[in-house]
Amino acid sequence: MASTEQVPAAPATRAPRGPSLARRLRRGYDRWWFAYVMLLPVVVVMGVLVFFPLARGIAFSFTDADRYTIGGQDIPSSYRYIGVDNYTTLDDDPNFWSVLGFTGIWTFVNVFFHFAIGLGLAVMLNRTLRLRGFYRMLLLVPWAVPSFITAFAWRYLFNVPNGFFDQVLRAIGVDGPAWLGDPTWAKVSVVTVNVWLGIPFMMVALLGGLQSIDKELLDASSVDGASNLRRFWDVTLPGLRPVAATVILLGIIWTFNMFNVIFLITQGGPADETQILVTYAYRYFLDYQLYGVAAAYGVLILSILLVFSSIYRATVRKLGEETWA
Partner 1 sequence: MRSIRSRAFVPALAAMVLAAVLVATPAAARTDVVAKRQATTTITFWQTMNDEETKTLRTIVAAFSKANPSIKVNMQYVPFDQAQARYATAAQGGKAPDVLRAEIAWIADYAARGFLADLTKHISAADRRDFLPSAYAYGLWRGKTYAVPQVTDAPALLYNKAMLRAANVTVPTTIQQLETACAKFGAGKGIFLRGDAYFVQPWIWAYGGGLVNPLKREILIASKGSVNGMTAYKRLFDADCAFDNEDFANDYGNMQTAFKNGDVAMIVNGPWATADILSGRAFRNRANLGVAPVPRGTAGQGSPVGGHSYVISRRAKNVDAAYRFIQFLSRAQNQATLAAKNNLLPTRKSAYQARVVKANPIISAFLKQMLVARARPVLPEGGAIYTDFGPNVQKVLLGDSTPAQGMLAVAQAWKTKLFRAYSIKR
Under the rule (CB under 8 A), what is the footprint of partner 1?
33, 67-68, 70, 72-73, 75, 92-94, 155, 158-163, 178-183, 265-272, 283, 286-290
Shortest distance (Å) from residue 280 CB to partner 1: 11
Shortest distance (Å) from residue 159 CB to partner 1: 5
Q: From the centroid of its chain, how far is CA 177? A: 31
CA dihedral for 277, 281, 283, 288, sign (positive or negative): positive
- CA 233 to CA 134: how far, in whole Å? 28
Instruction: For the beta carbon of residue 307, count every other beta carbon within 10 angstroms.
Output: 10
Query: Which residue, 93 or 321, is less far from partner 1 as judged by CB?
Result: 93
- CA 215 to CA 261: how far, in whole Å? 40
Query: Which residue, 99 or 245, is less far from partner 1 as judged by CB?
Result: 99
Query: Which residue, 118 or 298, is less far from partner 1 as judged by CB?
Result: 298
154-162 contact pairs (CB < 8 A, 24+): 154/189, 154/193, 154/265, 155/180, 155/264, 155/265, 158/189, 158/265
| Dihedrals phi, psi of 6, to nearest 5 degrees | -95, 0
Query: Which amino acid appears at position 282 of this protein?
Result: Y
Query: Which residue, 82 or 117, is less far from partner 1 as judged by CB?
Result: 82
CB neighbour burial string for 186-201, b if at least 16 within 10 angstroms, e if fewer: bbebbbbbbbbbbbbb
Shortest distance (Å) from residue 177 CB to partner 1: 8
Shortest distance (Å) from residue 304 CB to partner 1: 23
Query: Which residue, 85 or 321, is less far from partner 1 as judged by CB?
Result: 85
DSSP, res 18:
-
Query: Which residue, 197 or 265, is less far from partner 1 as judged by CB?
Result: 265
